[in-house]
Amino acid sequence: MQSRFQLQWIVEQTYAGVLLKEFLKDKEVSRTALTDIKFSGGKILVNNVEVNVRFRLRTGDQVTIVFPPENPSEGLKGETIPLDILFEDEFLLIVNKTHGMSTIPSREHPNGSLANALMGYYQKKGIEATSHIVTRLDRDTSGLVLIAKHRHVHHLLSKQQQSGRVKRTYEAFAQGRIEQLQGRIEYRIGRKDDSIIEREVRSDGQYACTHFNVIGRYKGFTHVELHLETGRTHQIRVHMSFIGHPLLGDDLYGGDTTVIERQALHCKRIKFTHPFTGRESIFSASLPADLDYIIKADSE
């Protein structure tokens, strides 16, 4: 069994005399995490002696946080499903998700999700964690997904995401010919009144902004690269449909399903700062076979 998730620091001179509570705040350990540590079986140690957050630090002290064990979400069972793991360390995973796999279980698709696959993988490896998926993709969108191995790591990566520091780049095939080489789509998006799934452009929706660049033009469709300023549900699909260029295969938003029967959308690149090494991390995944096949169509 893998040891419980923990973090460790050596106290620098600038923190001499500072309360441990303030030190941990600067290290982005949340109040929720501290409460969880106190009441759910975690430990706060200074020089291997258990202390409370009112302890005053000295230069050279070794601070160790041992987090409580994580229990899988109730009803989320592990399944043996192959995962295309591009990167893994003790803190996070980068997975290249195939299309047709839900990110989390739903009423319509209770099994076979990425979350189920992660739980099966963790159980096999003896990792004490539940599913912490930072960047989600629609069931029929393929590509890169960022996953945290612990709720504290999820907290740190979510803060990056909320401040726009987790950058994702997509490739898509849009119906028709897009004349502009590049553009900005800026329309508010909200839930459609008569649907729990479908979204639409509406004045009372949430602000949403999508940037696109044309990669190539083909007979009947345009190959585009897209970057998001915001991360609204179905944002790319809704925005492209609204400007008259729905994604190929996206029948929910008016896309032609003749060539492909799922939305022709792939998350090909993800960039973020590793929360513990501080390094800029960039990962890429090439187009899957079904989308690569579309490019073989006769070009103009």
| CA 236 centroid distance within chain | 16
**pLDDT of 1:** 43
CA 54/CA 51 separation, integer angstroms: 8
pLDDT tens digits, 216-269: 999 889 999 999 999 899 999 999 999 999 999 999 999 999 999 999 999 999
pLDDT tens digits, 102-139: 998 888 888 899 999 999 999 898 887 888 999 999 99
Task: Supply the residues annotated as catalytic.
Answer: 138
Q: Is 29 exposed, middle or buried (0-12, 13-18, 19+ CB in 10 A)?
A: buried
Mean pLDDT within 29-51: 90
pLDDT tens digits, 155-208: 999 999 988 899 999 999 999 999 999 999 999 999 999 998 999 999 999 999
Specify whether 182 is located in the same domain as 110. no
279 assigned to some structural domain: no
N-to-C CA span, the chain? 58
Kindly indicate the confidence band of residue 3, based on its pLDDT and cuts at 50, 70 and 90. Answer: low
Q: Is pLDDT at 19 greater than 80 in this prediction?
A: yes
Mean pLDDT within 62-69: 92
Quick one: which of 259, 267, 261 has its CA closest to 283?
Answer: 267
CA 228/CA 236 separation, integer angstroms: 8
DSSP-assigned letters across all residues of 270-295: EEEE-TTT--EEEEE-PPPHHHHHHH
288 assigned to some structural domain: no
Specify whether 136 is located in the same domain as 187. no
Residue finishing a domain among 15, 32, 66: 66
CA 128/CA 167 separation, integer angstroms: 28
pLDDT tens digits, 70-87: 877 777 888 999 999 999
Specify whether 158 is located in the same domain as 190. no
Specify whether 119 is located in the same domain as 195. no
289 assigned to some structural domain: no
Specify whether 31 is located in the same domain as 76. no
142 assigned to some structural domain: yes
52 assigned to some structural domain: yes
Specify whether 77 is located in the same domain as 158. yes
132 assigned to some structural domain: yes
Specify whether 205 is located in the same domain as 231. yes
Specify whether 222 is located in the same domain as 245. yes
Quick one: which of 206, 271, 266, 258 has its CA closest to 236?
Answer: 266
Quote the domain boundaries for residue 130. 70-163
Q: Is 270 exposed, middle or buried (0-12, 13-18, 19+ CB in 10 A)?
A: buried
More confident residue, 258 or 300: 258
Could you tell me the two tokens for 143? Answer: 């590509």
Specify whether 105 is located in the same domain as 178. no
Residue 143 · residue 170 · CB < 8 Å:
yes
Query: Domain of 42: which CATH number?
Result: 3.10.290.10
Q: Is pLDDT at 44 greater than 50 in this prediction?
A: yes
Domain count, the chain: 3
Query: Domain of 124: which CATH number?
Result: 3.30.2350.10
46 assigned to some structural domain: yes
290 assigned to some structural domain: no
For the chain, the helix, strand and coil percentages under 3-state DSSP, each to the nearest 5: 20, 30, 50
Helices (H), the chain: 20-26, 31-39, 114-125, 151-162, 235-242, 289-295
> What percent of the chain shows pLDDT beyond 90?
76
Q: What is the DSSP letter of 259?
A: S
CA 96/CA 220 separation, integer angstroms: 28
Specify whether 142 is located in the same domain as 98. yes
